[in-house]
Structure 1
Amino acid sequence: MQLLSKDSLHRGGFAGLKETRLIVDNKIGGQSDTWNGLGNFIYLADARFSPKGQTGMHPHKELDVISIMLEGNIEHKGSMENGKSMGANQVQAQRAGGEGFVHNEINPDNAENRMLQLWVLPEVAGEPASYQFYDLKKDQMVRVYGGSKSDSKTLDSQTIIEVGLLTKETKITKQGEFMAYVTGGTGTLNGVEVTDGDLIRDVGLDFTVQSEQVHLTLIYLNK
């Protein structure tokens, strides 16, 4: 089992947000203090937007961008789903594809928010741009990315991302290699106590929630 704590890393940022990057894969210039991802999963940042802060309009191409709201709200501006709002316990997944998209994520409130951003490289180049939106459900792991092309509910990939809003004593198990990121609470993962901002890589997941609530972001390969 490998564990990387958010608090052990440098906190940087740009524009109106501060972020800690835990995964910056070698494919995109990662350094020794961050981890490589799993499969086509290449990037994970834990970010807080300043009050009224924003990223500024910027482009993506041939990249899938998954945004998970933990606290507060975001207003999404851009070439896909312009004007869409996202609040705590909601997730958006955007595929830039060969078409590409531009977007700006804006904190509309007078308080900080918190959002996770994950990047995955698409397996097929030249796909059309597309957008998916999800509400998390208590004590369920919701698939927000990955699966077969025939499943219209998710962007297709062999790299799977599931997110759970889990309450005390809920148990989650999974076979095979995985990466998991814990936020907003504590739990026991494969016999080790884990807490907010812990990133774990291991084989075979056995997780039990210890606090009243916790977010679990789980990444694995569909084999």
Structure 2
Amino acid sequence: MQLLSKNSLHRGGFAGLKETRLIVDNKIGGQNNTWNGLGNFIYLADAQFLPNGQTGMHPHKELDVISIMVEGSIEHKGSMENGKAMHAEQVQAQRAGGEGFVHNEINPENKENRMLQLWVLPETAGEPASYKFYDLKKEQMIRVYGGNKSQSETLDSQTIIEVGLLSKNTTITQHGEFIAYITGGKGILNDVEVKDGDLVRDVNLNFTASTQQVYLTLIYLNKAS
């Protein structure tokens, strides 16, 4: 098992947010203090928007952007789903494709929020821009990214991302290589205690929540859709 703690890394940021980058793949210039991803998964940041902070309008192209709201809310502005609000326990996935998109994420509240952002490189270039939105469900792992092209529930990819909002004693298993990120609680992962801000890379996941609520973000490859 490999484990990387958010608290061991530099807290940076830009514009109206602070963030800790845990995965910055060497495909996009990562350094020795961050990890490479898995498959086409290349980036993970744990971010807090300042009160009324925002990213500012900026573009993406040929990139899939998955945002997981942990605390508070954001207002989404841009060329797709302009005006959409996202609250805690919700997830949005945006495919820039060859068409590209511009967006600005805004904290509408007078207190900090918390959001995880993950990037995945698309497997097919030149696709149209598209947008997906999900509500998390307690005690379930919800697939928010990845799957084959024959389905339309998620953006297609061989890289799979699932998010669970789990309560005490809930157990999740997964075979094969994985990366997992723990948010907002604690648990036992492959016989090791893990806590908020811990990133784990291992093979064959066995995770049991040990607090009343914990987010588990799980990235793996090639599960049947």
TM-score by length of 2: 0.99
- Superposed CA deviations along residues 178-217 of structure 1, whole A, max 9, x for unmatched, are 0000000000000000000000000000000000110000
SS in 2 for 1:137: coil
In the alignment of these two chains, the number of paired residues is 223
Aligned equivalent of 1:27: 27
Q: Which runs of 5+ in 2 are unaligned?
A: none
Q: Which runs of 5+ in 1 are unaligned?
A: none
Aligned equivalent of 1:81: 81
CA distance in 1, matches of 2:90, 2:147: 19
Aligned equivalent of 2:155: 155
1:48 aligns with 2:53: no
- Superposed CA deviations along residues 70-108 of structure 1, whole A, max 9, x for unmatched, are 000000000000000000000000000000000000000
Amino acid at match of 1:63: L
Aligned equivalent of 1:133: 133
Deviation for aligned residue 1:22: 0.0
Aligned equivalent of 1:102: 102
CA distance in 2, matches of 1:73, 1:91: 11
Deviation for aligned residue 1:150: 1.2
CA distance in 2, matches of 1:91, 1:188: 25
Aligned equivalent of 2:175: 175
- Superposed CA deviations along residues 148-194 of structure 1, whole A, max 9, x for unmatched, are 11110100000000000000000000000000000000000000000
TM-score by length of 1: 1.00
- Superposed CA deviations along residues 85-136 of structure 1, whole A, max 9, x for unmatched, are 0000000000000000000000000010000000000000000000000000
**What do you get for the CA RMSD once the two structures are aligned?**
0.4
Amino acid at match of 1:174: Q
SS in 2 for 1:74: strand
Question: In percent, how many aligned pairs have the same letter?
Answer: 83
SS in 1 for 2:98: coil
SS in 1 for 2:27: helix
4+ residue segments displaced more than 2 Å: none
Amino acid at match of 1:8: S
